[in-house]
Amino acid sequence: MSNPVVIIGGGLAGLACARVLREQGIEVLVLECDESIGGRVKTDSFEGFQLDRGFQVFLPAYPEAKRILDYEALNLRTFYPGALIRSGGRFHRLGDPWRRPFDAIVGALSPIGTLGDKLRVGRLRLRLARTTLEEIHRRPETTTLRALRQEGFSEAMIEQFFRPFLGGVFLEHELNTTSRKFEFAFKMFAEGGTAVPASGMAAIPKQLASSIGSRFIRTSCKVKALNQGTVVLDSGEEVRAQAIVVATDADEAWRLCGRRQVATWNASTCLYFAAEEPPVDQPVLVLDGERSGPVNNLVVLDQVASTYAPPGRSLVSVTVLGVPKANDKDLSDAVRSQLEAWFGIQVRAWKLLRIYRISKALPTQLPGAAAQDTRLRPGLYACGDHLDTASIQGAFLSGRRAAESVISDL
Ligand X SMILES: Cc1cc2nc3c(=O)[nH]c(=O)nc-3n(C[C@H](O)[C@H](O)[C@H](O)COP(=O)(O)OP(=O)(O)OC[C@H]3O[C@@H](n4cnc5c(N)ncnc54)[C@H](O)[C@@H]3O)c2cc1C
Residues that bind ligand X (CB under 6 A): 8-14, 31-34, 39-41, 54, 56-57, 222-223, 247-249, 252, 268, 358, 361-362, 384-385, 390-392, 395
The packing angle between helices 179-192 and 163-170, to 10°, is 100
> Of the two residues 25 and 236, which places its CB atom closer to ligand X in the complex?
236
HSE value, Cβ hemisphere, 13 Å, CA-based, for 51: 23
> Of the two residues 144 and 268, which places its CB atom closer to ligand X in the complex?
268
- Please give the Cα distance from 22 to 45 (Å, whole number): 31
CB of 296 to ligand X, least distance (A): 12
Looking at residue 245, the DSSP 8-state letter turns out to be E
Find out whether 81 and 165 touch, Cβ atoms under 8 Å: no
- Please give the Cα distance from 355 to 34 (Å, whole number): 20
CB of 312 to ligand X, least distance (A): 28
> Of the two residues 9 and 164, which places its CB atom closer to ligand X in the complex?
9
> Of the two residues 117 and 249, which places its CB atom closer to ligand X in the complex?
249
- Please give the Cα distance from 283 to 80 (Å, whole number): 6
CB of 42 to ligand X, least distance (A): 9
> Of the two residues 110 and 391, which places its CB atom closer to ligand X in the complex?
391
> Of the two residues 315 and 390, which places its CB atom closer to ligand X in the complex?
390
CB of 334 to ligand X, least distance (A): 19
- Please give the Cα distance from 160 to 89 (Å, whole number): 12
CB of 233 to ligand X, least distance (A): 8
CB of 31 to ligand X, least distance (A): 5
- Please give the Cα distance from 356 to 340 (Å, whole number): 22
Find out whether 374 and 387 touch, Cβ atoms under 8 Å: yes
CB of 396 to ligand X, least distance (A): 9
> Of the two residues 104 and 267, which places its CB atom closer to ligand X in the complex?
267
- Please give the Cα distance from 408 to 410 (Å, whole number): 6
> Of the two residues 43 and 268, which places its CB atom closer to ligand X in the complex?
268
> Which amino acid belongs to residue 259?
R
CB of 60 to ligand X, least distance (A): 11
Helices and strands per DSSP (H, E), number in the chain: 15, 20
> Of the two residues 207 and 337, which places its CB atom closer to ligand X in the complex?
207
Which residues 6+ apart lie within 8 Å of 243 measured at CB? 5, 6, 379, 380, 381, 406, 409, 410
Looking at residue 173, the DSSP 8-state letter turns out to be S
CB of 283 to ligand X, least distance (A): 15
Chain centroid offset of residue 266 CA: 12
CB of 39 to ligand X, least distance (A): 2
CB of 255 to ligand X, least distance (A): 8
> Of the two residues 8 and 85, which places its CB atom closer to ligand X in the complex?
8
* Helices marked H in 141-247: 144-151, 155-157, 163-170, 179-192, 203-212
How many CB atoms are located within 10 Å of the residue 172 CB?
Answer: 22
> Of the two residues 118 and 224, which places its CB atom closer to ligand X in the complex?
224
- Please give the Cα distance from 60 to 140 (Å, whole number): 26
- Please give the Cα distance from 377 to 213 (Å, whole number): 28
85 phi, psi to nearest 5 deg:
-115, 130
- Reduce the DSSP state of residue 101 to 3 states and report it: helix
